[in-house]
Amino acid sequence: MPLRAGRLCGFCGGMTRFRFAPIAAALPATVPFTGPETLERRRGAPFRARLGANENGFGPSPRAVEAMERAAAEAWKYADPDSHDLRHALAGHHGVAPQNVMVGEGIDGLLGLLVRLMVAPGEAVVTSDGAYPTFNYHVAGFGGRLVKVPYREDAEDPDALVAAACETGARLVYLANPDNPMGSWHSGARIEAMLDDLPQGSLLVLDEAYAEFAPEDAIPRIDPEDARVIRFRTFSKAHAMAGARIGYAIGPAELIAGFDRIRNHFGINRIGQVGALAALGDRDWLTHIRAEVAAARDRIGDIARMNGLAALPSATNFVAIDCGRDGAFAQALLDGLAQQGVFVRMPGAAPMNRCIRVSCGPAPELAAFAEALPKAIGTLA
């Protein structure tokens, strides 16, 4: 039987044989980030320094590695759909009830579930222009209406976020603390005050992916049953398990239970579950990682200053370097570094796109960055 003639695709102007659902049909075929592997294939060679994805190159806890190696022999089993052991361990770690914790496929996966759970097509969601784009990706994918406010002094602006939520009746308000891509942070007291100003019905989405690197007073004191906020943490950053895809949410039990209505109950990585449980118990390794990251931040700052650039203060495992020019200059510098095998990234919105963002990494990779940076600058003089 011959195929029917294709239909015109409204977005791309071309023909397609498939009728996508209306929301998907209106979206571009894109992803929030182009992976370093894709970039390596394009350039035909591997990077010698992988410093662009905020991965933790210092590696996971040896105890976690050993646990995952043992668990590999049982990879034929599905993961526990309730993540019982990990969920209870996380609850004990944070001093909350297990009913206040949901484990998911990284913060990214949980953000998608939250948007699906809470946002109807056309409803407003507030974020900052230039903040974590994967959240925006989910909002668009489920038909939400994104409302963006500008950064203020290289940091997300709680006052502007609250004002936009009040104006639009936003269902969700996204804030990362510490922030990606700038590394800036607010005090816990500022976040607590922000909750008091949110309009009724708005939920603060507090992304704390980098919390383990932040000063102690940056972490707000929030009752897990506070209906105004849901918090997200991850094993990808401080615990160096980005590839395991284990994140978790902390929030009111009623909201957490809502995830069971829509989540993929067998989506968690079994080996990752085991590794995360072991990593959580290795406090000495976390202390070691914090020290390595702090030293690497200092080293990146020194490299920046030696080349006439300015490193911005950071409470994360990366440093935003102010290139002192505009986004076009920063992009050219990023491209010049890539040509020398050094992978870094840059913020996507002005005025933050005057910066490049360099992940903390082991000494050999930072040495490669130190070697490549003056050469890349030299080509732009």
- Domain match, 325 and 249 both: no
Task: Report the amino acid identity of residue 361.
Answer: G
What's the pLDDT at 119?
Answer: 98
Question: Shortest CA distance to 226 belongs to which of 199, 254, 186, 207?
Answer: 254
Q: How far apart are CA 175 and CA 130, in angstroms?
A: 12
- Cβ of 330: how many Cβ atoms within 10 Å? 22
Q: Which residues of 143-171 are buried (b: 16+ CB within 10 A; e: fewer)?
A: bbbebbbebeebbbbbebbbebbeebebb
* 3-state SS assignment for residue 206: strand
106 located within any domain: yes
- Cβ of 43: how many Cβ atoms within 10 Å? 13
- Domain match, 242 and 349 both: no
- Domain match, 212 and 321 both: no
CA angle at 175 for the pair 81 and 228, rounded to the nearest 5°: 70
Task: Report the amino acid identity of residue 93.
Answer: H
Provide the residue-wise pLDDT of the chain in tens; the chain has 381 residues: 444 444 445 445 555 688 999 999 999 887 778 899 999 999 999 999 999 999 999 999 999 999 999 999 999 999 999 999 999 999 999 999 999 999 999 999 999 999 999 999 999 999 999 999 999 999 999 999 999 999 999 999 999 999 999 999 999 999 999 999 999 999 999 999 999 999 999 999 999 999 999 999 999 999 999 999 999 999 999 999 999 999 999 999 999 999 999 999 999 999 999 999 999 999 999 999 999 999 999 999 999 999 999 999 999 999 999 999 999 999 999 999 999 999 999 999 999 999 999 999 999 999 999 999 999 999 997
Question: Shortest CA distance to 139 belongs to which of 100, 112, 165?
Answer: 112
CATH number at residue 48: 3.90.1150.10
- Domain match, 184 and 277 both: yes
105 located within any domain: yes
Q: How far apart are CA 128 and CA 234, in angstroms?
A: 21
Q: Provide the residue range defining the domain that includes 298.
A: 36-58+284-380
- Domain match, 275 and 331 both: no
- pLDDT tens-digit readout, 2-52: 444 444 454 455 556 889 999 999 998 877 788 999 999 999 999 999 999
- Cβ of 73: how many Cβ atoms within 10 Å? 9
Out of 281, 296, 326, a domain closes at 281
- Torsion sign across C-alpha atoms 42, 238, 111, 265: positive
- Domain match, 214 and 86 both: yes
52 located within any domain: yes
- Cβ of 182: how many Cβ atoms within 10 Å? 26
- pLDDT tens-digit readout, 272-292: 999 999 999 999 999 999 999
What's the pLDDT at 15?
Answer: 56
- Domain match, 290 and 277 both: no
221 located within any domain: yes
Write the CB contacts of 117 (distance below 8 Å, at least 6 apart in sequence).
258, 259, 261, 262
What's the pLDDT at 16?
Answer: 64
Out of 281, 302, 319, a domain closes at 281
What's the pLDDT at 14?
Answer: 53
- Domain match, 44 and 117 both: no
* Alpha-carbon distances, residue 310 vs 27, 133, 306 (angstroms): 38, 25, 9
Total domains present in the chain? 2
Longest CA–CA span in the chain (Å) reads: 69
201 located within any domain: yes
* 3-state SS assignment for residue 99: helix
Out of 251, 281, 311, a domain closes at 281
- Domain match, 300 and 168 both: no
CA angle at 226 for the pair 221 and 229, rounded to the nearest 5°: 80
151 located within any domain: yes
